[in-house]
Structure 1
Amino acid sequence: MSDATLKLVVTDQAFGNTRHEQAAARAAGATFAEFACRSEDETLDAVRGANAVLNNFAPMTRKVMAAMAPGAVVVRYGVGVDNVDLAAARDLGVRVCNVPDYGVDEVADHAAAMTLALARKLGRYDSGIRAGEWKIDRMVDGLRSLRDTTVGLIGLGRIARAYAARMAVFGCRITGFDPFVPEDQIRAAGITPLSRDEVIGTANILSLHVPLTPETRHLINAAAIARMPKGAILINCSRGGLVDEDALATALVSGQLSGAGLDVFEKEPLPPDSPLRKAPHVIMSPHAAFYSDASVDALQRLASEEALRGLRGEPLRCALT
């Protein structure tokens, strides 16, 4: 295949420009096309015959990837690849990679900001003042000192450890579970290793940092929430499917949980009839924890460099298949 026939496609993106992506196409002598795909059929039409695909959230199913050129590469903008059928990619000979090392500080900052706002109950103070109240005890109750707070982490990758370091500064005790991280590394990060059930059962603040897989879907369900300390806070800047949102909304209404910070949801955008929209003490953001001017530019640059390697047949930096 000659360079003139190479094709680079962006299935979808929310960054506002594709200058890095277009530069990669020019460097490889490839054609460039950009789309805003949502459905499987739209994505299939967009990637037909493509040699490199840059993908955000559009579904990369077996049917879609079968329409790509032989030996094609899919580059996922970001860390998670739950919208990519990895088993099908292996069967089809499609190379898949992600960008796991951008925006670590931004996501850790975002999770910490949500945690602090909920732990200090800033939203309740704000709404109380707006309603004409000024007496503290009428606005909040059960305000735990951060120095008396246990922060539990499920998953101990880059972002989790960066978040743990931030929360440790406030005097929090940090516990964590990750079967893929050796215990000595966990302790070296200032985190006390516990079983998953122990972390869930003892954390005043529980923060999730794992990928969405069949094994982790609804990791936090009604049973898990019932084991959490009463008045605990849940933080999820990872993947929405980790949490049973109906069970979470019920727990917020009942007071079993005192707050939740959510950057991700099972369905995005969040449906108008989601019970979370009416649940109390929820801070929500639109899958934006990664976002800053610097992190977005780094993400697009790193993804585009990976696509260029794929077009040139070079080894990928962060290959998953």
Structure 2
Amino acid sequence: MPEQAIKNVVVTDYTFSDLSQETAAAESVGARLSGHQCRDADEVAHVVKGADMVLVQFAPLEAKAIAGMADGAAVVRYGIGYDNIDLAACAARGISVGYVPDYCAGEVADHAASMVLSMHRKLPQLDASVRRHEWKSVAIAKPIFASEAVTVGFFGYGNIARKLRARLAPFGFSFAASDPFLTESQAREDAIKLLSVDELFCRCDIISLHAPATSTTNGVVNADRLRSMKPHAVIVNTSRGSLIDEAALAQALSDGAIGGAALDVFDKEPLPSDSPLRSAPNLLLTPHSAWYSEAAIELLQKLAGDDIVNHLSGRPLRRPVHSPVEVTTRLQPTTI
């Protein structure tokens, strides 16, 4: 009787110190794991050829790579979002796709809350003014409104947005949301005013984005929406960079059309050296770090390892992405 072929697990890219948890998981079911740091789609296509399972973090997993994977393979994305995976190509080949939406919700909510409060109290502007040897608190920070007079709006009201609301509620903010799956009764339960997208941008003082990158959400923050916002309004984004037209945002900030922005995610990452965001005023930037804590990393790798065992043992993935339609039509919780 011929020996059964050893299954191959491939990690395309990762920002962790090691892959010991994933390696142990693969070895526990008689598979071997190889880790890589792919920088582009061609490198990904090369390393995943013949793979029985692929774990991907930020690298693009495109149709060419998917075509070269083994029959019956599976893909798991290290994170909450999965817009770097060609789901249609996976579906066409019968390749299962999973993700890990339950590893860092608290961390992202903490990061978003820190951004909201920093921008509300104009901390980046005040810090910069002191470093310029100025001492002009009101002149630099005006206007700052009492928290009780400020409405925080959520574009998408999933798990992370709900956690963010809970963190901000003690400060006295009012809240609004735009989410096609948020019911009136759910909104009342959380003291949330349910608004259309246009109303959200027109009426809120701070808007926090919590939606995936889809055909209906990409570019939702565009020049027209920015013009509709209050002149002191702030945008916070810890979801996906493609939700924002970055050139339009940079222009709005330079023109003083809105009060400021805080961004943890960008359309292209790392942020290009020639991005207009780099020179835009009243802008707080962090390098896609909202997800991070030591505990979150450990949990993310453990859950990914669990899915290695699940798939190679013939069991379903923990959190499957069911179809491309789900991604393009449903406004889901924030993506990391």
TM-score by length of 1: 0.97
Partner-residue secondary structure (3-state), 2:61:
coil
Aligned to 1:214: 215
- Kindly state the Cα deviation for residue 60 of structure 1 after the two structures are TM-superposed: 1.1
C-alpha distance in 2 between matches for 1:17 and 1:213: 32
Aligned to 2:150: 149
Partner-residue secondary structure (3-state), 2:85:
coil
**Residue correspondence of structure 1 range 286-305 to structure 2 within 5 A:** 286-305=287-306
Aligned to 1:134: 135
- Kindly state the Cα deviation for residue 193 of structure 1 after the two structures are TM-superposed: 1.2
- Kindly state the Cα deviation for residue 51 of structure 1 after the two structures are TM-superposed: 0.8
C-alpha distance in 2 between matches for 1:167 and 1:132: 32
- Kindly state the Cα deviation for residue 4 of structure 1 after the two structures are TM-superposed: 4.4
Partner-residue secondary structure (3-state), 1:235:
strand
C-alpha distance in 2 between matches for 1:62 and 1:186: 40
Q: Which amino acid aligns with 2:289?
A: A
C-alpha distance in 2 between matches for 1:104 and 1:77: 14
Aligned to 1:183: 184
- Kindly state the Cα deviation for residue 182 of structure 1 after the two structures are TM-superposed: 2.6
Task: Give me the identity figure in percent.
Answer: 45
- Kindly state the Cα deviation for residue 166 of structure 1 after the two structures are TM-superposed: 1.3
User: Structure 2: where are the runs of 5+ without partners?
Assistant: 323-336
- Kindly state the Cα deviation for residue 2 of structure 1 after the two structures are TM-superposed: 6.2
Q: Which amino acid aligns with 1:91?
A: A
Q: Which amino acid aligns with 2:317?
A: L
Aligned to 1:319: 320
1:230-252 alpha-carbon deviations (Å, 9 max, x no partner): 11000000000000000100111
**Residue correspondence of structure 1 range 1-321 to structure 2 within 5 A:** 4-321=5-322
Aligned to 2:329: none
- Kindly state the Cα deviation for residue 135 of structure 1 after the two structures are TM-superposed: 3.1
C-alpha distance in 1 between matches for 2:226 and 2:174: 20
Partner-residue secondary structure (3-state), 1:87:
helix
The farther-off stretch of 180-189 and 201-210 is: 180-189
Q: Which amino acid aligns with 2:123?
A: L
- Kindly state the Cα deviation for residue 262 of structure 1 after the two structures are TM-superposed: 0.3
Contact 1:3 1:30 in 2 (8 A): no
1:256-289 alpha-carbon deviations (Å, 9 max, x no partner): 1111110000110000010000001111111110
C-alpha distance in 2 between matches for 1:132 and 1:31: 59
Give 4+ residue runs of structure 1 displaced > 3 Å after superposition: 1-4
Contact 1:4 1:30 in 2 (8 A): no
- Kindly state the Cα deviation for residue 190 of structure 1 after the two structures are TM-superposed: 2.8
C-alpha distance in 1 between matches for 2:65 and 2:23: 22
- In the superposition, relative to structure 1, how do residues 135 and 94 fare at CA in structure 2: closer, same or farther (>3 Å)? same
- Over aligned residues, Cα RMSD in angstroms? 1.3
C-alpha distance in 2 between matches for 1:130 and 1:153: 33
- Kindly state the Cα deviation for residue 311 of structure 1 after the two structures are TM-superposed: 1.3
C-alpha distance in 1 between matches for 2:172 and 2:19: 43
Give the length in aligned residue pairs. 321
C-alpha distance in 2 between matches for 1:199 and 1:65: 39
Contact 1:177 1:199 in 2 (8 A): yes
Q: Which amino acid aligns with 1:19?
A: S
C-alpha distance in 2 between matches for 1:188 and 1:254: 39
C-alpha distance in 1 between matches for 2:29 and 2:19: 16
Contact 1:150 1:205 in 2 (8 A): yes
C-alpha distance in 1 between matches for 2:299 and 2:192: 29
1:75-107 alpha-carbon deviations (Å, 9 max, x no partner): 000011111111111111000010011100100
- Kindly state the Cα deviation for residue 3 of structure 1 after the two structures are TM-superposed: 5.5
Partner-residue secondary structure (3-state), 1:110:
helix
- In the superposition, relative to structure 1, how do residues 3 and 181 fare at CA in structure 2: closer, same or farther (>3 Å)? farther
C-alpha distance in 2 between matches for 1:137 and 1:185: 39
Q: Which amino acid aligns with 1:298?
A: L
Partner-residue secondary structure (3-state), 1:230:
coil
C-alpha distance in 2 between matches for 1:3 and 1:285: 47
